[in-house]
């Protein structure tokens, strides 16, 4: 069935290691997004992509990297340069344009120890 | 980019209407307003969206002021399962960015 999938649901890494979070959608959406959420806070935009092979920085891109080689995939790498990587990460996708809603995955909770 | 402002928390009695306000005074004329809600540790769930006309679906109603500087999400008969954080979002024209505010934590009580 159609949807957006994030994996894994929980992820643990040692400090100083890079880690890649997966986001896959089979909704034929052009636009994809990554958000970060800290406890008790709202969602902050990390990166977004409107089309394959193109992506833009959001408000908190430092310490993160992305790629968009395929329409259905938008992986996020949390690098060792990210000072405080422990957080809840959410991926979303949508058709382009104003009058269309975005669909969210169920999130990946990353804990760096 | 347009910003949204919402009250941090609200209470509502079960069975009553919940009216959640949002201010988006810097919204551009062709930018839509979206509402999502998030139950703890889950991905946000779409509720409704609109441009300038009032909208209604099976979940809620959206009232947008004539000057488009604010809107109100109405849950007509709140239930305990409507307890969640509700986000009012502006979709930025041309970039498709979805800018989240800090949200309103709605507590529905029996």
Looking at residue B37, its pLDDT comes to 97
Please say if the pLDDT value at position B1 is more than 80. no
Looking at residue B96, its pLDDT comes to 86
Question: CA nearest A109 in B: which residue?
Answer: B41
Looking at residue B99, its pLDDT comes to 87
Q: Would you place residue B94 in the very low, low, confident or very high pLDDT band (cuts 50, 70, 90)? A: confident
Cβ-Cβ contacts under 8 Å between A and B: the total is 61
Tell me whether B57 touches chain A (CB under 8 Å). no
| Min Cα separation B77/chain A (Å) | 24
The torsion region of residue A40 among left (phi > 0), alpha (psi -120 to 50) and beta comes to left
Q: Residue A93 in contact with residue A31, Cβ under 8 Å?
A: yes
Tell me whether B45 touches chain A (CB under 8 Å). yes
Q: With an 8 Å Cβ cutoff, are A102 and B46 in contact?
A: yes
Q: Does residue B81 sit in helix, strand or coil?
A: helix
Looking at residue B73, its pLDDT comes to 98
Provide, as residue numbers in chain A, all residues whose Cβ is less than 8 Å from the Cβ of B87: 42-43
Q: With an 8 Å Cβ cutoff, are B96 and A48 in contact?
A: yes
CA distance B48 to A68: 29
pLDDT digits (tens, 9 = 90+) for B15-50: 999 999 999 998 988 899 999 999 988 999 999 999
Looking at residue B29, its pLDDT comes to 85
Q: Residue A21 in contact with residue A89, Cβ under 8 Å?
A: yes
Region A65-76: what's the mean pLDDT?
Answer: 98
Of B46, B97, B103, the CB nearest to A45: B97
Q: With an 8 Å Cβ cutoff, are B43 and A106 in contact?
A: yes
Q: Residue B106 in contact with residue B20, Cβ under 8 Å?
A: yes
Region A70-92: what's the mean pLDDT?
Answer: 95
pLDDT digits (tens, 9 = 90+) for B2-24: 789 999 999 999 999 999 999 99
**What percent of chain A lies above the pLDDT cut of 90?**
88
pLDDT digits (tens, 9 = 90+) for A4-37: 999 999 999 999 999 999 999 999 999 999 999 9
């Amino acid at each position: 069935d159609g949807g957006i999938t994030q994996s894994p649901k929980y992820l643990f890494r040692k400090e100083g290691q890079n880690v890649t979070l997966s986001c896959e959608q089979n909704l034929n959406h052009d636009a994809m997004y990554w958000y970060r959420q800290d406890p008790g806070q709202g969602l902050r935009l990390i990166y977004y992509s409107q089309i394959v092979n193109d992506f833009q920085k959001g408000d908190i891109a430092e310490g993160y990297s992305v790629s968009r080689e395929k329409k259905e995939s938008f992986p996020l790498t949390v690098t060792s340069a990210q000072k405080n990587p422990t957080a809840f990460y959410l991926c979303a996708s949508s058709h382009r344009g104003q009058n269309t809603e975005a669909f969210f995955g169920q999130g990946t909770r990353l804990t760096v120890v | 980019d347009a910003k949204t402002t919402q009250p941090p928390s609200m209470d509502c009695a079960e069975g009553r209407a919940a009216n959640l306000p949002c201010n988006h005074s810097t919204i551009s004329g062709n930018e839509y307003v979206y509402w999502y809600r998030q139950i703890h540790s889950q991905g946000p769930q779409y509720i409704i969206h609109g441009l300038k006309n009032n909208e209604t679906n099976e979940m809620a109603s959206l009232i947008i002021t004539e000057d488009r500087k604010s809107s109100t999400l109405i849950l007509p008969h709140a239930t305990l399962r409507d307890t969640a954080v509700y986000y009012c979002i502006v979709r930025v024209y041309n970039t498709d960015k979805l800018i989240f505010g800090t949200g309103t934590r709605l507590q529905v009580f029996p």
